[in-house]
Amino acid sequence: MNANELRGRSLQAQLQFMERNGRALEELVAKTLKAREEQENFLNGFAKSLEDIAAQEGFQPLAKCLGSLGECGQRLVNESHDVMLLRPESEILQTVTQIQDWAIVPMKDREKAIKIEAKLQKEYDELRRGSSAKEKEKKLRMLSDQKRRVENVNTLLDAHTENFDRYRIQKMKVRQRLRVCHIT
């Protein structure tokens, strides 16, 4: 097995892994959003109930305590919305889009290009046995063009992989700096 075949199998395995995990990640995000929405609805109702009870309570210290609990519940809803939805959702969606653009699409393009190359190679091999020189020449040109396309897709895939690795490393460095700044 030559290096290109090994690389092809490795890229195919990565593509399948990323497609499976991309779908799983999208499902997980959807479930998290749904659970968060249900939690938000519950906390809003709970906070509203506490505030209503506080408004009807005659004993002032208890009314104040219940009102404070209602305010805390409302703050929890607002802050958890910001923490769980605004920042991570956009970051997750951006990362999924990056993976889609930089990895999955080029890998699928590579897969198609290799299949076309194999088909053209087979057709050319069949033509070599007993066809006119003109047909052979035409098929050979098509085959060499397709080989260039495969090389170009491989080069593009390498560049995208490097870009995505750089992107991930930059994100990790930013997170690390934010943690260090937050701790100090």
CA distance 155 to 153: 5
8 HSE (CA, 13 A, CB side): 15
Question: What does the pLDDT read at residue 147?
Answer: 92
Q: Write out pLDDT tens, residues 17-37.
A: 877 887 787 788 788 878 888
Least confident of 14-18, 48-52, 149-153: 14-18
Statement: residue 49 has pLDDT above 80: yes
Dist. CA 52–CA 43, nearest whole Å: 14
CB atoms within 10 A of CB 43: 19
Q: Which one, of 85, 72, 83, 84, lies nearest residue 44 by Cα? A: 72
pLDDT at 119 over 90: yes
Element holding 86 (H helix, E strand): none
pLDDT at 85: 64
Q: Is the pLDDT of residue 153 over 60?
A: yes
Q: Which residue has the higher pLDDT, 38 or 96?
A: 38
Distance of CA 41 to the CA centre of its chain: 28
Average confidence score pLDDT of the chain: 82
**Separation between Cα atoms, residue 15 and residue 109, nearest integer Å:** 11
Amino acid identity, position 161: T
Look at domain 3-183 and name its CATH class: mainly alpha
Residue-range domain boundaries for the chain: 3-183
> What tens digit of pLDDT does each residue of 59-74 get?
898 889 888 888 888 8
Reduced to 3 states (helix: H, G, I; strand: E, B; else coil), residue 59 is coil
Q: For 104, which DSSP code?
A: I
- Higher-scoring residue by pLDDT: 44, 102: 44
If you write DSSP's letter for every residue of 20-31 in order, what string do you get?
A: HHHHHHHHHHHH
Burial class (CB in 10 A: 0-12, 13-18, 19+), 137: exposed
**Which of these, 70, 72, 66, lies nearest to 46 by C-alpha position?**
70
pLDDT value at 87 more than 70: no
Tokens of 80: 């958890």
pTM score above 0.75? no
> Is the pLDDT reported for residue 120 higher than 70?
yes
Kindly provide the residue ranges of all beta strands, DSSP E only, lying in 68-111, ordered along the sequence.
Answer: none
- Residue 183 scores a pLDDT above 80: no
